[in-house]
Amino acid sequence: MSAHAIEWNAVEKEAVELLSRYIQINTINPPGNEIEGARFLQKVLATEGIPCEVFESEKGRGSLITQFSGSGSIPEIILLHHIDVVPVEEDKWEHPPLSGVVLNGEIWGRGALDCKSLGIMQLMAFVLLKRQGFSPEQHIVLAATADEEAGSVKGAEWLMQHVPEKLNARWVINEGGGLGLKTGQSNLHFCQVAEKGVCWVRITFQGKPGHGSLPHGRNCVVEMAKAIEALAEHRSPFVITEPAEQFISGIAREQGYMPAAEFRELLDPAQAEAVLAAIPEPVLQLVLNACLRNTFTPTVTKAGSKTNVIPGECFCEIDCRMLPGTTPEDMVMTIEQVLRAKGCRNFSIEILHSSIPTASATSTPLYRLFESTLKKHDPKAQLIPYMSSGATDSRFFRERGIVAYGMQMESSLTSMERMHGHNERIAIENLVLGIQVLYDTLQEFCK
């Protein structure tokens, strides 16, 4: 097959339709039901003559793997995204979260950013290479996984344990970017090169049960409330890591909030708080704060079942995120210190889930190619290395020495608030930009 000019208007129409349909498939985790998403992708690929394998870690928890076979003997690069999405509060959305509705140049729905859009970008780039008769030297793998939003035990982690040979490669392109900043002179795109570690903990409080009409001084709910307040108010010390230094230095050169030298004072723990407060963009403040310190966020509580009964036990769960150099045990120790300083009593701490911080170098040919390809399509683009506060499946690959980057082409800070929030959506122009950048990158890198 000979290559021909790609009709990008037709590609846009096809991609929008596919993403809309993909969003309409309910893969909210829990329970997940990712098998339906995997079968959808399998059918699309089958129409292109591309066979796939679908793996179920348990009934309904499906992941998909296929590859573009090259002349070499091993896979070179993996295009990775996850099928599952987080729950929704449907009544808080302007449009139904599983509608995939297209309005005013945007595609709406849960997963539009995190991360079904990335899946369609990768799918379309993969398919276009085949349609164009591309003959790579090495294999290109396309993988869609289950359970990423709940820790990946039934998705990427399961695949690594049961079919690791299917995910053997030198490079991974995954989620984790999807943020950016327009400064007037530049369009900053954040490329995820590192991620903080996760430590989810449950703090259980013991107390004296009794009748609600007879209050006493051993109410475990009161102890839990004190603990939640203490952790919500706690601010860990600023720690300057290499990924944070790269990120802040990159933004300092391009931002317009203050002189670059003043912005770089974020890298001085003694000055960082004052500089953060002077940045007028609230979302950027949140991102930078998370990049510079360990965080402890109360997210789940369970106490009692009847209004007139004082329970004898209750618990809360805390989403802790760790910087490089920190361990889950360090996080538990900090929680204990914070709670005891608040006067909390009769509690125990259990680690529910944890993962270590991971990072990939930026001094690689793939990172440099991302930079040049992005500039080809957007002359004002600047690629900035970024350490995400959220965990991704990239950690499983980095732990095996595989370089992984997160690229999603959504150069907007507001996307951070929408990813797990209400009214999640992606601009069609960003969806197409992602396809174009991935297509050109793969064509050049794997030729």
Pairing of strands 171-174, 210-211: unpaired
- The number of residues making up the chain comes to 447
Cis ω on the peptide bond leading into residue 269 (within 30° of 0)? no
Question: Number of C-alpha atoms within 13 angstroms, CB side, residue 242?
Answer: 10
Bridge partner residues of 173 (DSSP): 79, 405
Which pLDDT does position 411 carry in this prediction?
65
CA angle 160, 162, 163 (to 5 degrees): 70
Element (H, E) at 125: helix 116-131
Bridge partner residues of 189 (DSSP): 180, 383
CA angle 268, 281, 115 (to 5 degrees): 100
Identity of the residue numbered 343: G
Gap between the Cα atoms of 125 and 26, Å rounded:
24
Element (H, E) at 384: strand 381-388
Superfamily of domain 8-179+388-445: Zn peptidases (3.40.630.10)
For residue 407, give the DSSP letter. -
Which pLDDT does position 338 carry in this prediction?
98
Q: Scanning the structure block, which residue is given the tokens 């609230």?
A: 282
Nearest partner of 432 among 80, 18, 101, 109, judged by Cα: 18
If you compute the radius of gyration of the chain from its CA atoms, what whole number of angstroms results?
23
CA distances from residue 126 to 39, 121, 262, 440 in whole angstroms, order as listed: 17, 9, 44, 11
For residue 92, give the DSSP letter. G
CATH fold of the domain at 195-355: Alpha-Beta Plaits (3.30.70)
pLDDT in tens, 397-416: 999 999 999 988 776 777 77
Gap between the Cα atoms of 370 and 442, Å rounded:
10
Which pLDDT does position 276 carry in this prediction?
97
* Secondary structure class of 315 (helix, strand, coil): strand
Gap between the Cα atoms of 305 and 107, Å rounded:
41
Tell me how far the alpha carbon of residue 146 is from its chain's centroid. Answer: 14
Q: Is 177 exposed, middle or buried (0-12, 13-18, 19+ CB in 10 A)?
A: buried
* Secondary structure class of 137 (helix, strand, coil): coil
Gap between the Cα atoms of 257 and 230, Å rounded:
32
Gap between the Cα atoms of 248 and 292, Å rounded:
10
Average pLDDT by stretches of 10, the chain with 447 residues = 81 98 98 98 97 98 94 85 97 98 98 96 97 91 96 96 94 86 88 96 98 96 98 96 95 94 97 96 93 97 98 98 96 98 97 94 96 94 92 95 90 78 94 96 93
pLDDT in tens, 56-99: 999 999 999 999 988 776 779 999 999 999 999 999 999 999 99
Nearest partner of 80 among 111, 46, 118, 114, judged by Cα: 118
Nearest partner of 125 among 299, 373, 318, judged by Cα: 373
Gap between the Cα atoms of 319 and 353, Å rounded:
10
Gap between the Cα atoms of 149 and 301, Å rounded:
19
Domain residue spans in the chain?
8-179+388-445, 195-355
Gap between the Cα atoms of 395 and 152, Å rounded:
11
Burial 317-352 (b: 16+ CB within 10 A, else e): bbbbbbbbebebeebbebbeebbeebebeebeeeee
Which pLDDT does position 409 carry in this prediction?
78
Pairing of strands 187-195, 358-359: antiparallel
| Contacts with 47 (C-beta within 8 Å, 6 or more apart), sequence order | none
CA distances from residue 416 to 190, 272, 286, 422 in whole angstroms, order as listed: 12, 22, 10, 11
Asked whether the beta carbons of 205 and 310 are under 8 A apart, the reply is no
Gap between the Cα atoms of 431 and 405, Å rounded:
18
SS (H, E, C) 163-188: CHHHHCCCEEEECCCCEEEECCCCEE
